[in-house]
């Protein structure tokens, strides 16, 4: 009789210990999960400084300027505001690159007015070339980065 009682109490102690171990394991996992969700990870750096520029496509198949000036070495958001016609805005390292079929540095979608799109660039000082891909010989200009 007494042997059975001892055995039973040992078995229930073992279950108790197992239960405690499980609870601890779950609690620890919960802590780890919580620790991984730091609010810092959610904060995406927006364009610091918030430099912006704008160019417009006007009636007459023309940009509102053939010289656009932006800052060097900073993120600049260039907004292309198409007020008339079917146009895009594309930036190239040079006119030679554009004419030679090199890839643009950045370009908007081609869209039918009224539509607004933008590109973000971060360029070293210098002179770059921009154009509308629909009118690549008539709608062109110089992007001056300084
Ligand atoms: Cu155009």
Spans of all domains in the chain: 2-42, 51-145
In this prediction, residue 131 carries a pLDDT of 98
User: Model-level pTM greater than 0.85?
Assistant: no
In this prediction, residue 10 carries a pLDDT of 54
Q: Which residues of 87-118 are buried (b: 16+ CB within 10 A; e: fewer)?
A: bbbbbbbeeeebeeeeebbbbbebbeeebebe
Give residue-wise pLDDT tens across range 52-85: 999 999 999 999 999 999 999 999 999 999 999 9
Compute, in angstroms, the gap from residue 110 CA to the centroid of ligand 1. 9
Query: In which band, very low, low, confident or very high, does the pLDDT at 33 lie, cut at 50, 70 and 90?
Result: very low
In this prediction, residue 25 carries a pLDDT of 47
Tell me if residue 8 falls in helix, strand or coil.
helix
The number of C-alpha atoms within 13 Å of 42 and in the hemisphere containing its C-beta is 4
In this prediction, residue 53 carries a pLDDT of 97
Compute, in angstroms, the gap from residue 131 CA to the centroid of ligand 1. 8
Calculate mean pLDDT across residues 15-24: 46
Tell me the CATH class for 51-145: mainly beta
Surrounding ion ligand 1 within 5 Å at CB are 87, 132, 134-135, 139
Compute, in angstroms, the gap from residue 124 CA to the centroid of ligand 1. 26
Give the DSSP letter of residue 102: P
Compute, in angstroms, the gap from residue 25 CA to the centroid of ligand 1. 64
Query: In which band, very low, low, confident or very high, does the pLDDT at 104 lie, cut at 50, 70 and 90?
Result: very high
CA dist 61 and 45 (Å) reads 37
């Amino acid at each position: 009789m007494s042997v059975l009682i001892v055995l039973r109490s040992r078995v229930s102690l073992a279950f108790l210990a197992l239960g405690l171990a499980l609870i601890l394991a779950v609690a620890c996992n919960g802590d780890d999960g919580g620790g991984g969700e730091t609010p810092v990870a959610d904060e995406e750096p927006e364009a610091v400084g918030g430099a912006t520029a704008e160019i417009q496509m006007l009636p007459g198949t023309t940009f509102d300027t053939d010289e656009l000036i932006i800052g060097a070495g900073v993120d600049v958001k260039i907004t292309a505001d198409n007020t008339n016609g079917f146009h895009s805005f594309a930036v190239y390292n040079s006119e030679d690159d554009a004419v030679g079929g090199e890839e643009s540095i950045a370009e908007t979608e081609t869209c039918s007015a009224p539509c607004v799109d933008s590109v973000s660039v971060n360029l070293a000082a210098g002179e770059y070339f921009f154009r509308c891909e629909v009118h690549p010989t008539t709608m062109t200009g110089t992007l001056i980065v300084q």
